[in-house]
Structure 1
Amino acid sequence: MEYECEEQEEEIVFKEECLNGPLALKVGNNEGLGSFFYKTMFENMGRIYQVDSSTGKVETCGSIRERAIKIATELKHMNVTPEDIIMVCVRLHPEQATILLSIFLLGAIVAPIDPEMTLTEMKETLIKLRPKVIFCDLRNAAHIERSLMEAKLYKQVHVIHIGGDPTSKKSLDSVLVKEPDISFQPTIIQDSKKKICLIIATQGTTGSPKLVCHSDYALTYQIYLHRQIILETTSRLLSFFPLNWILQVVLCCLCYITSIVKVLPSSYSERAIVRLIHDYRIDTLIISTKDCLKIVKHDSVNDFNLDCLKNIFIGGDISTPLEIVNIHRKINGARLIQFFALTEMCGTVASFVSESFDFMSPASTGKLMPGFKIKIGDLNTRVSQPPNTWGELTITGPSAMLKYFKGNIPSSIYMEKGYFRTGDLAEYDSQGHLYVLGKVTDLKETESTKFCLLEIEEILMDHPLVSEVAVIADNKDIIACVVKVEYSNLTVKSLEEFIEQNLAPQMRPTKIKILSEFPKTNIGKTRKIILEQNYLKVPIQRSIGNLSV
């Protein structure tokens, strides 16, 4: 199979009140990702794929490929077909790349699912997906098996444990000790633009997670898009995101076909991360904005030489200008690349690159990636708006999802004339920069003004004793939920005084809740839906605003 990827010159195009990114990449996909990875990794058997920093174990393309063939052969013996779904419930594990590759080789459907889902969420996900096989690590095995029993699927699903007793029939190790099938051949995909290869859940920050279906072609497009972004300046990559985040799937696949070495972290403390960057000469770090801020504020950042770090990719949430400036001041010399990614678009749709903290558009989420187009719809009339006008962001592009999986959501709800309705409040300027202010449901209107809850959050984050903020609201109350800086003596009274000095009367919260922590997804995003359930008397009714989270 041949993949063609031509770089295009950047061009900002405004047409009929829409913004077009540069021309789409030309990506040919004739046989499917499994066949492509199978051949490419054979040609680079000795190239290092990943290093496990906890054990020092080095994996080559050859060793990953050989074990993936063993797993794929075993799955064949379980009668797995290209129409079957294989769930992968691991956070960060050395074998996740091997398991992922084995599923691609079979042409089956991979579903990386957050192992930290609640019992109810996991049960509902299992009932919808009805997977043929589930891979999970031992830490989550009991949770998965209990969820299967609740879903009445325990006897219908093969569960394979990663780790544990190698003699157990449920152990992945019992598969890996077998000899590889030298006659194995990957499955050929006939129609890569229609065949589902990936089902991935939204983060569920403002509603229940939704299952998004992507084609082989959509994932291929994002792989080549990211190759164009990071390959030239990346040799060693460190990512702290779990496999159930769409960009982590893209990165795993990217390392199958490039010279980039993936370094697996061993722990998550600030000092351990900084030491890891220094010891392994990491040049590209992929991390959430909030975690990156914790690192740059930690004393250990001054104890190690981080000159090796050339790229810091931040994402997982909207970054404020102040956050970006603070990161730049601490780690000077590294490019900060902010990704605006959507699960429904299979990855990145816009990115912003800043070489220093003297950049031009610090509040922007970036410019559109090749092939993507956006419109800003008026919140009432749905008419497309010109530049510098706020409205609902709608988007289309080469890697758009096929559908929601058994979501029972009519396409008329989330699609509008071929564009996906994100539920995000956004605008773009005359230079083609995209600005995302928050969710449409976070927009509040009084007799004198309109404002977004994110604006309140940004002001409250300026308080020196505030660590995290999440503002929620209904028709009656605006509630500021706050996590204070550890060991500080932040009080509601001191916050009220700060609010009175810094916020207009109509924007002031009616209630303040100081909490020890926020409910989070496993990529660190605050689950506002849970805060709303706990503290708002009137439930928020959402139809669109929770789709692209």
Structure 2
Amino acid sequence: MSHSSGGELKGGLAPQSVRVSNLAHFVTRASRRHGERTALACGKARWTWREFDSRISAAAAALHDVYGIGKGDRVLVQSHNCNQMFEAMFACFRLGAVYVPTNYRQTPEEVAFLCEASGARGMICHANFPGHAAACLASKAPPDFVIAIGEAEFGPSYDRLVGEHLGRDIANVPVERDDPCWFFFTSGTTGRPKAAVLTHGQMAFVVTNHLCDLMPGTGPADVSLVVAPLSHGAGVHQLVQVAAGATTVLLPSERFDPAEVWDLVASWKVTNMFTVPTIVKRLVEHPSARTADTSSLRYVIYAGAPMYRADQKRALQTLGPCLVQYFGLGEVTGNITVLPAGEHHAEDGDDARIGTCGFERTGIEIAIQNEEGDDLPLGETGEICVTGPAVFAGYYQNPDANAKAFRNGWFRTGDLGHLDEGGYLFITGRASDMYISGGSNIYPREIEEKILAHPKVSEAAVFGIPDPDWGEVGIAVLVPMGGESIETAEIAEFLAPKLSRYKLPKRFVVLDEMPKSAYGKITKKLVRQTLEERGLLGADAGA
């Protein structure tokens, strides 16, 4: 699926292919401008821009010369964050090949499905995941080869191949605007993951827009710390850092340690990082945050899910005015709205616009539509639909999904929300999260916000369950703050004056830990599944 225009262009110009810069040119440019400055660091290891560029060319040479990887070929990458994974992305771009990262927390069977769905010709797999390599090699459409990051029996060493090809100067392959560069797999919370096709031209716009709307002024003096998987939003964020010539710092181990994060922020004078709300929550609630030197931070960007107001306030009190929120699915590559640092307010005043995820990004337009595709008035809830250069090219070999995702030139996000008179977007939740009780539409997001205002509640998830009298009723799943215990009657009493009676959950369940997806998100599908497995969805279970 492509957004290219066909036929004769206005003014009598003949239609033609549109050549764009290969995304790997960001590395080429940074190497020329900042050759001896640090491009990437992990633990005690450092790579200058010139070294980073050279290793990328060596990896590209190995992929091309040894395995025949060329333009349009897909390369699956299964790895936790490391320099080799980051290099592999640009090596694919340089060849005009397609980078297909997985979330390393996925199971071997899930990754084998991604291998088949993408038609990957090759695989780069960290030595820590032999089961994933084996599953892909045993799949219905196995890759032609597997390269190991580290030493493994399933394939030759990535670093050895790079070492053998160092010194090869590989030019960036010419590309056009709609040439694919990245298969960004959706999280699959409502079904099997789908490969969203990202292109060189689209991603060039996304990078420019990130620099314009999220991190204005970012440049070679900046340092970015990676605290989320490079396979998805963090990978896009670091692509932006490379474009700006900023230094990228990786955590030295797979284990996420808030104290270590704050030490790195202080020692590197970190200026920005991409996170999700659950990571921000863990960072600011950790005891080390009380004494951390966060003075260098200019932008702590969070996305992937809305941040609850209670968590937002706590983060602002701890970090100061550096929070930046954006809303943007993989299909629009994090590029729908922005709520800048200056519009995050610690107090609930008239200017706070509590609950908003911000306003339209530059070059992006939002419409709130009903099921027929008609625009709804301001303030009315409907499906959030978007258009603009950041919208992806479509799902790979999935015409049915494309037909459902696009309507009259608009991409349908599947999220529900409304716009206020200032153009600020408020997300009510996923369309699939809404439930109907006694004929009334119930949006869990509103109820969750109210629950999280209780000082003893750390996390909450609300969804509908079948009920013989009302059709569906709400069940609220709660996780207490550390050291606290929750009486469900206390929560019900707390909510009673804050919500209309028909919105009040009919049941409450307390868990020690909220189940989360491989992306660190609370998904209703997983929460529901956990309750079913524990026998907590029966008529007489819970409170």
Q: What interval of TM-score do these two structures reach, taking the shorter chain for normalisation?
A: 0.7 to 0.9
Deviations 1:324-351 (A, max 9, x none): 222112222x322101121111222110
Q: Structure 1's 240 and 146: CA in aligned 2 closer, same or farther, altered over 3 A? A: same
Matched, 1:270 2:254: no
| Amino acid paired to 1:240 | V
Matched, 1:525 2:513: no
Task: Give the whole-Å Cα distance in 2 for the aligned partners of 1:387 and 1:168.
Answer: 57
Contact 1:35-1:187 at 8 Å conserved across structures: no
Aligned to 1:163: 150
Contact 2:258-2:283 at 8 Å conserved across structures: yes
Among 48, 71, 87, the alignment partner of 1:82 is 71
Q: Structure 1's 163 and 422: CA in aligned 2 closer, same or farther, altered over 3 A? A: same
Aligned to 2:340: 353
Among 200, 204, 208, the alignment partner of 2:184 is 200
The aligned runs of 1:122-271 (5 Å cut-off) are 122-149=111-138, 151-154=139-142, 156-164=143-151, 170-182=156-168, 184-189=170-175, 191-192=176-177, 194-228=178-212, 229-233=214-218, 235-245=222-232, 247-266=233-252, 267-271=255-259
Instruction: Report deviation, 1:382.
Output: 3.3
Among 20, 34, 37, the alignment partner of 1:30 is 20
The aligned runs of 1:410-489 (5 Å cut-off) are 410-446=401-437, 449-474=440-465, 475-489=471-485
Contact 2:27-2:49 at 8 Å conserved across structures: no
Q: Structure 1's 168 and 527: CA in aligned 2 closer, same or farther, altered over 3 A? A: closer
Task: Give the whole-Å Cα distance in 1 for the aligned partners of 2:441 and 2:243.
Answer: 48
Task: Give the whole-Å Cα distance in 2 for the aligned partners of 1:30 and 1:182.
Answer: 24
Contact 1:47-1:259 at 8 Å conserved across structures: no
Contact 2:366-2:386 at 8 Å conserved across structures: yes
Quote the RMSD (CA, aligned, Å): 2.5
| Amino acid paired to 1:414 | A
Secondary structure of the 1:412 match is: helix
Q: Once the two structures are aligned, what percentage of the paired residues are identical?
A: 21
Instruction: Report deviation, 1:44.
Output: 3.1
Task: Give the whole-Å Cα distance in 2 for the aligned partners of 1:272 and 1:478.
Answer: 40
Aligned to 1:8: none
Deviations 1:386-445 (A, max 9, x none): 222211111111021111123352533111100011111111122121111111233344
| Amino acid paired to 2:112 | K
Matched, 1:93 2:82: yes
Secondary structure of the 1:370 match is: coil
How many pairs are equivalent?
A: 500
Aligned to 2:13: none
Q: Structure 1's 460 and 36: CA in aligned 2 closer, same or farther, altered over 3 A? A: closer
| Amino acid paired to 1:230 | M
Aligned to 1:115: 104
Worse-matched range after superposition: 35-44 or 400-409: 35-44
| Amino acid paired to 1:34 | A
* TM-score normalised by L of structure 1: 0.84
Task: Give the whole-Å Cα distance in 1 for the aligned partners of 2:355 and 2:485.
Answer: 31
Aligned to 1:58: 46
Instruction: Report deviation, 1:503.
Output: 4.1
Deviations 1:228-269 (A, max 9, x none): 242515611113121221x32322322333231111123422
Aligned to 2:355: 363
Task: Give the whole-Å Cα distance in 2 for the aligned partners of 1:126 and 1:417.
Answer: 32
Task: Give the whole-Å Cα distance in 1 for the aligned partners of 2:414 and 2:291.
Answer: 43
Structure 1, unaligned stretches of length 5 or more?
1-27, 538-549
The aligned runs of 1:488-527 (5 Å cut-off) are 488-500=484-496, 502-527=498-523
Task: Give the whole-Å Cα distance in 1 for the aligned partners of 2:239 and 2:187.
Answer: 21
Instruction: Report deviation, 1:32.
Output: 2.3
| Amino acid paired to 2:524 | K
Secondary structure of the 1:435 match is: strand
Contact 1:218-1:346 at 8 Å conserved across structures: no
Instruction: Report deviation, 1:36.
Output: 5.3
Contact 1:34-1:187 at 8 Å conserved across structures: no
Contact 1:41-1:62 at 8 Å conserved across structures: yes
Contact 1:373-1:395 at 8 Å conserved across structures: yes
Task: Give the whole-Å Cα distance in 1 for the aligned partners of 2:31 and 2:507.
Answer: 57
Task: Give the whole-Å Cα distance in 2 for the aligned partners of 1:390 and 1:496.
Answer: 27
Contact 2:462-2:475 at 8 Å conserved across structures: yes
Higher relative contact order (CA closer than 8 Å, sequence separation 6+): 1
Secondary structure of the 1:520 match is: coil
Q: Structure 1's 185 and 477: CA in aligned 2 closer, same or farther, altered over 3 A? A: same
Secondary structure of the 1:226 match is: helix
Instruction: Report deviation, 1:352.
Output: 0.3
The aligned runs of 1:280-359 (5 Å cut-off) are 280-332=268-320, 334-355=321-342, 356-358=345-347, 359=351
Q: Structure 1's 131 and 185: CA in aligned 2 closer, same or farther, altered over 3 A? A: same
Deviations 1:166-185 (A, max 9, x none): x9952112112214354532
Secondary structure of the 1:476 match is: strand
Q: Structure 1's 368 and 502: CA in aligned 2 closer, same or farther, altered over 3 A? A: closer
Contact 1:168-1:174 at 8 Å conserved across structures: no
| Amino acid paired to 2:74 | I
Q: Structure 1's 395 and 124: CA in aligned 2 closer, same or farther, altered over 3 A? A: same
Contact 2:516-2:526 at 8 Å conserved across structures: no
